[in-house]
Every structure is written in structure tokens, then in C-alpha cells.
Amino acid sequence: MHARLERIRKIALDAGLSGQLRIGAFPFSDEETQPRPCERPRVGEGVAPLDALLGLGRTPARGQLIEVFGRTGSGRTALCYRLALGATLRGGWVGWVDLPDALDPRSLRRAGVRLESLLWVRPREVPAALRAAELLLRAGFPFVALDLDGASPRALERIGAAAWARLGRAVRESRATAVLLGSERRAGSLAALALYTERRRARFAAGLFEGLEARASRASRPRSAPAPSSCEFSLRFSPR
């Protein structure tokens, strides 16, 4: 099966058609028509539990800092896009402070976020990123995301606890929602909700990358309405 697939792919590649085609397996046998493990319904899996965990669809809690942390490939960026989507669906503006300069407009659009409603700020240093987030909060943006992934630990340690306290105060006083994205937990008790994301597996099927399966768990004690403590979710790859 895979040898045949590789032959077809090679022909398409030689013909210069692979830019237009993505070649994968078609279910030829009864065995292959069975639902794959990732498609089986599970408890706590899917969009609804994830949205319940993120608080999407509810009236947003004012003045709270949400921390989303985990390793690269654990779906944390997709979760932040999901939170930004919730803000733009309510008609709000989103401020996105992007220290690693990693924001991809196509992914944002695929996530459903209105690009016009998002202000993208690309600072070069950690103090400038924190200051930019504070400026956006004080200006009245109802949702501000601060992506600090990739910042050197030394730079993060150098800013000190006072900077986090100032950010937390700005979030409280502005009554906005701020999301902190990183590989480790940084805000500590300042975060009203801390979500830890971990990768379950990458879905490759018949030579195609189909997406990621991940799990989000609450790493902090809930302060607001009861919500599930963890859920599994799948992120589907879309080439367009």
C-alpha cells in the first residue's frame, strides 16, 4: 500500500503537480474503513469540553490573567488563538504581543480570528514586551495575549517579580483578560487560571500530516464557575 502511494507521489512530484495535490491513502479495504482510534468519541474530548475549560461562550471574567504553558507542539498556541477568537466573536479588539515573532496570520485566519481586529506588536526584548502588554491593557483593549515563548530564562529572571506584579495590577485595573503564553509557568499566583498543555500524539495517516492530539489540564485552583479540570482535544491540520 505505502509503496504504491510513494510511486504515485513520485509521479506527481516529477510532473510538478504536488503543489496542487496532497496525496494520501484512500480506504481500499474493510479494515481501513474502520474508524481510526483518533476518531472514536471519548469522554471529555471535543470542542465543547475544551470551550468549557477555556470559558468560551460564557461572559468573560473581568480582570483575570490566564496562563497557558506547555512544550512546543502541545497545542498551547492553538488554545490562545481559540481564546482570541472568543474575544473577537464578542466584537472586542485583541492585542497580541509577540516576542518570538511567531504569529502566523494564515493560522489565525483559519482559527476564525478577525485579522483586522487584532493589533500585532512585535517587541525585541522581554521588558519591552511586558511594557507593550501593559500599554495595551491600560489603553482599553479587552483581550491581550503576551507570547513569551522562546525568551531566554536569564532575561525572564532579570525582569523580577515587580514586573509581573505590575502586569497583574494592570490586568485587574483595566478589567481586561490577559493571556500569558510560554513554555513554563511564570506568573504564579497572579494567574487566575493556569492551563498546562501536553501533546498526546501527532496524527500522520497514509503519508499525510493530519493534526495533533493534545490535552489541556487546569494547573491552578478554579476561582470562578465550575469547569472541567482537564480535557483532550484534537487540532486538525488545514493546508488552506
Partner 1 sequence: MPPYACLWLPDLPLAAALRAEPELAGRPLVVCDRDAVVSGWLRGLSLAQARVVAPDLVVRPVALEAMRSAQEALVDVALSVSPAVEDAGGGLAWLDLAGTESLFPSPAGVATALGARLEAVGLEAARVGIGPTRTVALLAARRGEPEIVAACEAQRFLDPLPLDLLEPPEELAERLTRFGIHTLGALRRLPRRELGARLGEEGVALARRACGEDLSPFRPAPPRARYEEGCACDWSVSNLETLAFLVRGPLERLARRLELAGLGARELYLELELESGKRFARAVGCRASTVEVPVLVALVRLALEQDPPGEPVVRLRVVATPGGVEPSQLDLFLPRRPAPAELAVTLARLAALVGDGRVGAPRECDSHRPEASAVADFDADGASGPWSAGRAAPPAPALALRALRPPRAIRVFGQDGSPERVESHERGGPLGHVTQCAGPWRLYGEWWGEAPFARDYFDLELEDGGVWRIYHDLDVGGWWADGTYD
- Residues with Cβ within 8 Å of residue 128, at least 6 apart in sequence: none
- Compute the least distance from the CB of residue 70 to partner 1, in Å: 9
Taking the least distance from each CB to partner 1, the nearer of 30 and 116 is 116
**DSSP 3-state helix, strand, coil percentages of the chain (rounded to 5)?**
40, 25, 40
How many Å apart are CA 238 and CA 75, to the nearest integer? 15
x/- binding map, residues 79-98, to partner 1, per CB under 8 A? Answer: x-xx--xxx-xxxxx-----
Q: Which is nearer to partner 1, 66 or 118 (CB)?
A: 118
Q: Using CA atoms, how far apart are residues 186 and 151, in angstroms rounded to an integer?
A: 12
Closer to partner 1 by Cβ: residue 94 or 193: 94
What is the C-alpha to C-alpha distance for residues 16 and 18, in angstroms, rounded to an integer? 6
> Which residue, 32, 66, 228, is CA-closest to 144?
66
Q: Is 167 in the site for partner 1 (CB under 8 A)?
A: no
With binding defined as CB under 8 A, does residue 155 bind partner 1? no
CB of 43 to partner 1, least distance (A): 18
Distance CA 33, CA 175 (A): 51
User: Is the Cβ of residue 85 or residue 187 nearer to partner 1 in the bound state?
Assistant: 85
Question: Closest distance between partner 1 and the C-beta of residue 89, in Å?
Answer: 6
The answer to the question of residue 208 lying near partner 1 (CB under 8 A) is yes
Q: Among 2, 124, 154, 221, which residue interacts with partner 1 (rule: CB under 8 A)?
A: 124
Q: Does 150 bind partner 1 (CB under 8 A)?
A: yes
Q: Please say whether the beta carbons of 171 and 178 come within 8 A.
A: yes
Q: Does 120 bind partner 1 (CB under 8 A)?
A: yes
How many angstroms separate the CA atoms of 95 and 98, rounded?
10
E strands present in the chain: 64-70, 94-98, 118-121, 143-147, 177-182, 193-205, 208-218, 230-236
| Nearer CB in complex with partner 1: 168/211 | 211
Q: Choose, by CB under 8 A, the member of 212, 215, 231, 232 that binds partner 1.
A: 212
Distance separating alpha carbons of residues 137 and 131, to the nearest angstrom:
10
* Nearest distance from C-beta of residue 123 to partner 1, angstroms: 4
In the complex, least distance from residue 230 CB atom to partner 1, rounded to whole angstroms:
16
Give the residue with the Cβ less far from partner 1, 30 or 153.
153
How many CA atoms within 13 Å lie on the side-chain side of 218?
A: 18
Q: Which is nearer to partner 1, 25 or 30 (CB)?
A: 25
Minimum CB distance to partner 1, residue 201 (Å): 9
